[in-house]
Amino acid sequence: MKVVTGKDRAPIENMVVSFKQGETIFNDGDLGTEMFIVQKGRVEIRKRFGTEVRVLSVLEKGDFFGEMSILEGLPRTATAVALEETDCLAINEATFDQMLRGNLEIAVRMLRKLSNKLRETTELLNQVAGKTVQVEKPKELIEEVLAVSASPYHLAVADTEVVLPVRKEGTTLVGRKDPVTEIYPDIDLSPHDTSRSISRRHAKFVVRNDQVFLQEDIGTTNGTFLNGEKLQKGEFYAVHDGDEVQFGLVRTKFTVSN
């Protein structure tokens, strides 16, 4: 596996990157396109509060960091520094998305770690501010992951191995994420839409009494097609196992597992 220094690394999926002792992996405020999993060594996460720099955590083998920039699409909120010779696995957004969708255990473990990190950071902020704020563990997020993963309904993106879950009940929004307007669809097809043909809120699946319907959003510009037929905005169309669904220029197949 190719090994490069932190500053010279190329944007290649699942790449091991090496950092020298004292080397900054990223700075607070940097734009982030990768998260990291420590393979060897130790990483210190630092945050400046006024003129004081506080250590938020020290990470070792198996720990991950930098995931919030991928989840939120926002700049880094802390600085990461290698405390010794350190190797990390760099994971970009596409690989991260596939990891979560393809392995429920990874998703649940990550949510639990995020919950613990939130608690630890909040406690530190409380110390700095001199007051107490209670943060509940986000059980609803873990339950959400379990509910989605248990669904028999999926979208398989054409010419890829990507399979995306559709909620077992209720509404699943399909579209393109946009951090600026804070739109985060349940199914984000932007990684497969190089022509940006998909609207932020493109269409939605609605499941009622084990029946699946598809409805195009009123603001969609490039159309939605079910088995080649263009959907009329606002109308509900029944969707069945094996149906071809096209969002803008992105082709998918709707599947139902037993």
Read off the pLDDT of residues 80-105 as tens digits, 9 standing for 90 and up.
999 999 999 888 877 776 666 666 66
Q: Alpha-carbon distance 96 to 104, whole Å?
A: 13
End-to-end CA distance of the chain: 39
Read off the pLDDT of residues 239-248 as tens digits, 9 standing for 90 and up.
999 999 999 9
Read off the pLDDT of residues 178-188 as tens digits, 9 standing for 90 and up.
776 678 888 99
Domains in the chain with CATH codes: 3-102 (2.60.120.10), 152-256 (2.60.200.20)
Read off the pLDDT of residues 17-70 as tens digits, 9 standing for 90 and up.
999 999 999 999 888 888 898 999 999 999 888 788 888 889 988 888 888 777
Compute the mean pLDDT over every residue in the chain, rounded to the nearest whole number: 80
Q: Are 219 and 201 in contact (CB under 8 A)?
A: yes
Q: Alpha-carbon distance 25 to 139, whole Å?
A: 31
**Whole-model pTM above 0.75?**
no
Tokens of 23: 């080397």
Q: Where are the alpha helices (DSSP H) in 77-138?
A: 93-102, 104-129
- Strands 64-65 and 79-82, sheet pairing: unpaired
Q: Are 24 and 79 in contact (CB under 8 A)?
A: yes
